Structure 1
Amino acid sequence: MNIYDKAHELAAALKDSKEVTEITAAMKLVDADPESKQMLDNFRTRQAEVQQRMMSGDMPAQEEMEQMEKLFEVLSLNLNIRRLFDAEQKLSVIIQDVNKIITDSLQHLYGGEA
């Protein structure tokens, strides 16, 4: 068994999954509405900036984090953006579950049970 072949099989399964199909459909709806697309693009840009700063050790102020949370809530009022966020969350859960399955399978290497 070639691990890389299995990884490519998993990648293809994810690409063909219901969750990715839902993200694609939701993204098309957002893209069809210029105002929604602009709002989402602005949010994603700010989100990436905050995450980049956090990774470099520059923790944002509580006020800035609250602003991001409020912006997320406002965006979620847009049904198409909410649909996209919900679909992305479902895919994120799958990726986390797959990561846990892989990690758990290697616990015996570090003294854990597997």
Structure 2
Amino acid sequence: MSIVEKAEELGAEIVESDEYSEMKEAEEAVETDEDAKALIDEFQAKQQQLQMAQMNGQQPTQQQQQEIQSIQAKMQDNDKIKAFMQKQQEFNNIMQNVNQVITESLQDQN
């Protein structure tokens, strides 16, 4: 079996994992909830504005920082967003573990 085939097999296993399925279900719950979706869209838009300003050498204003913090607080109060963020973190932990195992395997070969 080639390296690419093993990578495809690993990818298929990851997609079949509980962590991936639960994350996708939580993501779908957010996407279908108008309030949750609007909060995320608003947060992403504000975040993008800040990034563009920083790329142009501008520092975020106090008001911009407060707006972002306000949106983040609303997101943390939204049960669907909170659940999605939790499931996303659990999936990210699995991916970090997978990457760590691969890295350690490579280092053990030296």
TM-score, normalised to structure 1, is: 0.71
Superposition CA RMSD, Å? 3.1
Distance 1:14 1:49, change over 3 A: farther
Relative contact order (alpha carbons < 8 A, sep ≥ 6): 1 or 2 greater?
A: 2
* Ranges in structure 2 where 5+ consecutive residues have no aligned partner: none
Mean alpha-carbon deviation: is it higher for 81-90 or for 32-41?
32-41
Matched, 1:92 2:95: no
**Partner deviation per Cα, 1:18-56 (whole Å, 9 max, x = no partner):** 1111112112221222121011123244456767888x7
TM-score, normalised to structure 2, is: 0.73
Residues in 1 aligned to 2:52 and 2:16: alpha-carbon distance in whole angstroms: 30
Aligned-pair identity in percent equals: 28
1:50-61 → structure 2 map (5 Å cutoff): none
One-letter amino acid of the counterpart of residue 31, structure 2: D
Aligned to 1:30: 30
Aligned length: 108
1:1-114 → structure 2 map (5 Å cutoff): 1-47=1-47, 68=68, 71-108=71-108
Partner-residue secondary structure (3-state), 1:106: helix
Distance 1:70 1:3, change over 3 A: farther
Distance 1:29 1:4, change over 3 A: same
**Partner deviation per Cα, 1:79-113 (whole Å, 9 max, x = no partner):** 0001100010001001111111111111246xxxx
Distance 1:92 1:49, change over 3 A: farther
